[in-house]
Amino acid sequence: MTVEATALIAEIEAQERGLILTRFTNDDAWRLGALLVDLAREREAAVVADIRRGGHQLFHYALPGTAPDNDAWLDRKCRVVDRYLESSYLVGTRFRAKGTTFEASSRLDPDRYAAHGGAFPLRVEGVGVIGTVAVSGLPQAEDHALVVEALTRFM
């Protein structure tokens, strides 16, 4: 594992440890989603934003310039979070750090799972992972960074 990969993994793990909510309601989903959309608009980023809790979609918004393919990416990235209980970016980075890819080594259907950045676990203190917040439309590191920034500001 390279020094860069080790540092990136440690950074994402620290983000996940630091972004733990005390609660998460439907109203919280609306506020977080609106914040995510506002941040994307400020950057003129064509993304789809999505928030789910327990398989229930609480927020979904597609900015101009997106396409139905972004929704498919969201579904695939969120399935990775649901399965691994970690961000899709962290899961994919760990596979790459081992000299392989998620697609080649996970034994999961790549038409259903994508370990690309942009889906992040919603963790509630004392409960664990209760859902996901995700974006699709930018390069994976930027998708991930946008979600982390929105969660950080939301908290």
Kindly list the domain boundaries of the chain, sorted by start residue: 3-154
- The whole-number average pLDDT for the span 14-18 is 97
Its pTM stands at 0.94
Is residue 85 very low, low, confident or very high in pLDDT (cuts 50, 70, 90)? Answer: very high
Q: 12-44 burial string, b = 16+ CB within 10 Å, else e?
A: beebbeebbbeebeeebbeebbebbbebbeeee
State yes or no: pLDDT of 29 exceeds 90: yes
- The whole-number average pLDDT for the span 116-131 is 97
Domain 3-154 sits in CATH at 3.30.450.150
